[in-house]
Structure 1
Amino acid sequence: MTILLNADLHCHSVVSDGTLTPEQLAARAHANGVQLWALTDHDEIGGQRRAAAAAHALGLDYLSGVEISVSFADTTVHIVGLGFDMEDAQLAQGLQDTRGGRGERAQEIGRQLAQVGIKDAYEGALKYVGNPELISRTHFARHLVDSGVCRDTSEVFRRFLTEGHPGYVPHRWACLSDAVRWIREAGGMAVIAHPGRYRFTPTEEYALFSEFSQHGGGGVEVVTGSHMPSEYPIYAAMAQEFGLAASRGSDFHSPDESHTDLGALPDLPGQLTPVWELLEDRILRAPASPAAH
């Protein structure tokens, strides 16, 4: 393995809030030169077998993945799990418990939007949902764009779905320690996803990294489609300070919505240890590359 490996270890399919199937994502990753890929659907591992099979059919190495929603300092934080046992019962149960409540939350979002004149938003959002257990704000955003309420999903979030606006309904997710424990006990590595997105104060961010490390978390996303290039060195330094491996992932959701495509990120900074070097024995190797036939 090398730090220059084109690894994309964060993206989403229709199993959560993406618009492509696991098979379509595998094909897109392969076409874009990705060498090691992980599908990381929100709080759901139901697409893992399909993703691994599709990757292997293309000669693409694969790491199991998931993105778990946790509550920390009154903020929703995402923890990516990589290289875990897809059949682990404790992880599956924890994710099922975490998904619980999304339906009630979505109905309340619909009620709040109706109060500001946007009727039937819940029913509209359902039409975009591949997995009803995972209805999310993204599905509402797609409905509001397609129905002409907003120009794009960014405008939807700015006007309606973030704190202080109609349609924002908080949800209590898993706790940080549980998410890290589920991943570790399933044989995987826990990774802080896109830390630059959370708008923490420096003290809160330091607390997140400290607690994450104390619970056994092993990595942080440094180069991600959810970071500005100016943030790469900031989180490279945080990785070094806390002794964390570095991960790389586009956070790709859709060809029409994502500004960073699969496989299109720059390399990790050279002084860091890539997560895939520590997960070498967890990589599901493709049986053979099509080029070898």
Structure 2
Amino acid sequence: MNIDLHSHSNQSDGVLPPTDVAVRAHANGVDWWALSDHDETSGLAEASEAARDLGLGFIPGVEISVTFCDKTVHVLGLNIDPGQPELSAGLAGIRHSRFERARKLADLLSGCGIDGAFEGAMRHVDNPDLIGRVHFARFLLEQGHCKSLQQAFDRYLGDGKRAFVPVRWASLEQAVGWILAAGGKAVIAHPGRYRYTPQQQDALFGTFKSLGGCGIEVVTGSHTPAQSVHYTQVALTYGFEASRGSDFHAPGAGRADLGGMPDLSDRLVPVWRDWI
């Protein structure tokens, strides 16, 4: 089966409404799909209804922002109960931090001679609570301050750049705890994206597993083929289950469209084995 357990809608930093993401997944031959918006579950009811109408299997998800070793890590919560009070309260706190960061980021861009960034970014936001760096990148691209979204990060928004605002997200312990309380499985998203030393990465995986984390994304739109091979071995070494997801945000963006990734190695235990 074609299973894609990582995607985003306009309820966080994607561009399509949840229904349209479901339609695109179905059209691309996906059999089971998860919507996993950043720190937000407001799109799950619409996504579930759309999937049901299409005959598409649906797994409710969320992608939680975490700080570990002073860097941001994303942890997927898959097959969660989105109404669980502990999870809902935790996500609300993260969304408040996002809004505060956006104000500071706009001030830094003003210092770079780019005015109106907050209002400009908000034009690209469907859910104001989920304003993020990608919305500022879209504003910068729109105004001609960069030639691509990646250049916006390389020039202004990326770690250590002129408009970078550090922020403390949830702890790894909190995020895993919220996911487990909501009846879900905790999975480290796109581990190849994090710039950790081997020692720090070992600490991440070891701590995550000790807290009850069960898996990592092995095949994802953020990974090169070589990285997928590497994290296949990581999953086997640590005894993690493996997940597969495109990390879809918008048509034509990223390395993979919905459902357009290679299969997991048959040596791995898929994270969905108990659900599908």
Query: Which interval holds the TM-score relative to the shorter structure?
Result: over 0.9
Unaligned runs of 5+ in 1: 281-293
- 1:63 lines up with 2:59 in the alignment: yes
Which of 256, 262, 265 is the equivalent residue of 2:261? 265
- 1:173 lines up with 2:169 in the alignment: yes
Which of 61, 86, 89 is the equivalent residue of 1:90? 86
Which runs of structure 2 are paired with 1:204-283 in the superposition (5 Å)?
Answer: 204-280=200-276
Compute the TM-score of the two structures, normalised by the length of structure 1: 0.93
Distance change in 2, residues 1:86/1:103 (3 Å): closer
- 1:186 lines up with 2:182 in the alignment: yes
Measure, in 2, the Cα distance between the counterparts of 1:235 and 1:267.
13
SS at structure 1 position matched to 2:62: strand
SS at structure 2 position matched to 1:93: helix
Measure, in 1, the Cα distance between the counterparts of 2:196 and 2:40.
26
Identity %: 51
Which runs of structure 2 are paired with 1:25-104 in the superposition (5 Å)?
Answer: 25-104=21-100
SS at structure 1 position matched to 2:267: coil
Q: Which is further off, 188-197 or 95-104?
A: 95-104
For this pair of structures, how many residues does the alignment match? 276
Q: 1:285 — aligned with what?
A: none
Measure, in 1, the Cα distance between the counterparts of 2:110 and 2:248.
30
Measure, in 2, the Cα distance between the counterparts of 1:124 and 1:106.
11
SS at structure 1 position matched to 2:272: helix
- Give the superposition deviation at 1:241: 1.3
- 1:200 lines up with 2:196 in the alignment: yes
Does structure 1 retain, via aligned residues, the 8 Å contact 2:4–2:34? yes
Which of 7, 10, 13 is the equivalent residue of 2:9? 13
- Give the superposition deviation at 1:247: 0.2
Q: 1:134 — aligned with what?
A: 130
1:43-92 superposed Cα distances (whole Å, 9 cap, x missing partner): 00011111111011000000010000000000000000001112211111
Measure, in 2, the Cα distance between the counterparts of 1:228 and 1:257.
15
1:190-227 superposed Cα distances (whole Å, 9 cap, x missing partner): 00000000011111101000000000001100000001
Unaligned runs of 5+ in 2: none
Q: 1:283 — aligned with what?
A: none
Measure, in 1, the Cα distance between the counterparts of 2:237 and 2:182.
26
Measure, in 2, the Cα distance between the counterparts of 1:173 and 1:87.
21
SS at structure 2 position matched to 1:63: strand
Compute the TM-score of the two structures, normalised by the length of structure 2: 0.98
Does structure 1 retain, via aligned residues, the 8 Å contact 2:222–2:255? no
- 1:153 lines up with 2:135 in the alignment: no
SS at structure 2 position matched to 1:16: coil
Specify which structure has the bigger relative contact order, considering alpha-carbon pairs within 8 angstroms and separated by 6 or more residues: 1
SS at structure 1 position matched to 2:273: helix
- Give the superposition deviation at 1:120: 0.8
Measure, in 2, the Cα distance between the counterparts of 1:159 and 1:266.
32
Letter of the 1:158 partner, please give it.
Answer: D
- Give the superposition deviation at 1:125: 0.2
